[in-house]
Amino acid sequence: MDHANQLPGGFPPPPMAPPPSKGLFSFSPVLLSALVFPGAGQLMQRRWVAAAAYALAYTIFFLWFLVEVWAVLKAYYALGFDFMNATGQAPSLTALLLPFSASMAVYVACLIDATVASWRKPKTRL
């Protein structure tokens, strides 16, 4: 028996923990992009250009969606409060379809990008 690797009192040293595997998938960037804001996961991955692009694109499309929602709500309330003189029709909800679809497309693309980037092996710097 090798006595050089034993602790005082004849006890063996505790077992060493295995090194972390570099091939494991990390859900953290995907969860950040999904739950906090699109682009947050790319920030965690230190992909600054992708983070800025996704955050900016999502913000623009989502603000466009909110402006369209505001216009539709304003038209509906105008019809409701001025029902005695109302001559117009109810506004169409199809105006919401394009900005909502665009913002959801950016959101899903951001999640897919964070997932694919999490599966890639990190680049080693020399």
Verdict on whether the full-model pTM lies above 0.85: no
* C-alpha of 38 from chain center: 4
- pLDDT, one tens digit per residue, over 73-89 is 988 888 777 766 766 67
One-letter identity of residue 13: P
Q: 2 pLDDT exceeds 70?
A: no
31-89, pLDDT tens digit by residue?
888 889 999 999 988 899 999 999 999 999 999 999 999 999 988 888 777 766 766 67
Query: What pLDDT was estimated at residue 119?
Result: 83
Rounded Cα distance between 98 and 92, Å, is: 13
